[in-house]
Amino acid sequence: MSASSTHHTSDSARSSVNRLSADNVTLAYEQRIIAEQLSVEIPDHSFTVIVGPNACGKSTLLRALSRMLKPTEGRVLLDGQVIQSLPAKQVARTLGLLPQSSVAPDGITVGDLVSRGRYPHQGLLRQWSAEDERVVREAMEQTGVAELAGRYVDELSGGQRQRVWIAMALAQQTPLLLLDEPTTYLDIQHQIDILDLCAELHEEQGRTLVAVLHDLNHAARYATHLIALRDGKVVAEGAPNDIVTAELVEEVFHLRCQVIEDPETGTPLVVPAARSARRRAARRAAAVTEAS
């Protein structure tokens, strides 16, 4: 695949109507437009990862898909209905979100915070139950925070807090789960643990996951569907093996590289060019510009 401004879509990315989509949306903060006339479909039962350079609109798109940001134009659809038209509790039972930055109430314990993930399932006729207790316990065990249940959240390290927030999102038990940079603050072991957990939720429970990740190699290894953004536009989307090429990486990230096969997984592995090679390429590009 050659680098160009064309939106590349692999055959495997094309499908019928899915539960979550953005239809020709324009996204902005006050008067600053982040993305314009953007359309994406999240394949059902996929592990979709959104990648792209800083400030390209990744987190903004995720906020729109989660109902946190209303498009100035276009619409986000959940189960065929405009997401803003649905009751908040109905959305919360269908779609969970782990935002990039979360702040816990002062003096709350890990167990109490994770338990808040069960709120969408409560009501006048349904109070806390043994099933809720089981779900919360399993969510904490899955994320490795069960032994922290009695600790105050504000006493934890950044990595521990991140795992607690993920546990709360899991306790919500939604078929769709959106995660904005879930590996932030985590060391490499815990990054892999969290991504392994995401893969298990997708593969074993059939959940649809949408994550924003900065690490392209993590994205290529774990995603079943990639969406590559630049300047608020979709540059390419599809299965990692179909779309991750050296040309795409240079087009999206302006980085010269080689793409080889990951010896562990067979997925694409991006190897940046050495600094000397990148400098030579930059000088050649500058010379061509001056000559033209």
Q: What is the CATH number of the domain that holds 66?
A: 3.40.50.300
Does any domain span residue 1?
no
Residue 160 lies in a domain: yes
Residue 3 domain flag: no
Give burial (CB, 10 Å; 0-12/13-18/19+) of 4: exposed
Tell me, yes or no, whether 186 lies in a domain. Answer: yes
Token pair 């000559």: residue: 291
Tell me, yes or no, whether 76 lies in a domain.
yes
Number of domains in the chain: 1
Report if residue 95 sits inside a domain.
Answer: yes
Please check whether residue 146 lies inside any domain of the structure: yes
β-strand pairing of 176-180 with 95-98: parallel
Prediction pTM value: 0.86
In a domain, 2, yes or no: no
Taking only the tens place, the pLDDT of each residue in 135-184 is 999 999 988 899 999 999 999 988 888 889 989 999 999 999 999 999 88
Give tens-digit pLDDT for 240-269.
Answer: 999 999 999 999 999 999 999 999 999 999
List the domain range (segments joined by +) for residue 58: 8-291
Alpha helices, DSSP H, located in 48-180: 58-65, 88-94, 110-115, 130-142, 158-171
